[in-house]
Amino acid sequence: MKRFIFLGAPGTGKGTQASVLALKYDLPQISTGDILRKAVAEGTDLGKKAKQIMDSGGLVSDDIILGLIEKRLQEPDAQKGFIFDGFPRTIKQAQDLDALLSGADGISGVVYFQVDEEEIVQRLTSRRTCGQCGLNYNTITDPPPADFKCRVCGGAVIQRDDDKESTVRNRMVVYNEKTAPLVKYYQDHDKLYAVDGSQPVEIVRQQIIDYMNRF
């Protein structure tokens, strides 16, 4: 069974690769960021709690996230494996996940995306996203249509509130403090596969495919 975690700072390409590889391997892409953004858009209690934290670049509490994951893992499509995109994000989340999957061996592997901070800031501040289907655009390399309607679903293309430069910088601080320790955690469990995420998208993808095919 393929059970993968895509780990890395904001903007390193986790979502870009996970969306395509989930289709290739017929696995669900489980993005806690997407689940939270949907809750915010729907105005649920969870969404109301999460919005302010997300807009500031902080992390939603471990308890809330674990509740979401526990529920998501019970759905039928997650029984065949999964790609976690942006989860876990703290040591506590990783330990709780291990407990849910009966130990760190329940994970096939962890793909760790490495990209320089300045490139990340440039990527995220120029990212635009379809609010409906989630497709990413980039004002420099892949601009959205002039009317800002998504070329796939027609939804409105917007800038995510947390992609403004000051919030991106704060997300990096939070990443370095809370999430970066997971690199050692998974290294110690012999699960980590590092990829240079600053290479072109197709090259990064092929390296991940070569890795995922080992399982």
Does position 144 bind ligand AP5 by CB under 6 A?
A: no
127 is catalytic: yes
Does position 201 bind ligand AP5 by CB under 6 A?
A: yes
> Minimal distance in Å, beta carbon 31 to ligand AP5?
6
164 is catalytic: no
Does position 7 bind ligand AP5 by CB under 6 A?
A: no
Q: For the chain, what is the largest distance between any 2 Cα atoms, rounded to a whole number of angstroms? A: 50
Binding residue (CB under 6 A) for ligand AP5 from 28, 86, 109, 134: 86
Does position 51 bind ligand AP5 by CB under 6 A?
A: no
Give the tokens for residue 199: 């290479």
- Find the part of the chain contacting ligand AP5 (CB under 6 A) among 52-60, 94-102, 150-158, 188-196: 52-60
Q: Which residues bind ligand AP5 (CB under 6 A)?
A: 8, 10-16, 31-33, 36, 53-54, 57-60, 65, 86-87, 89, 93, 123-124, 127, 136, 138, 162, 171, 197, 200-201, 204
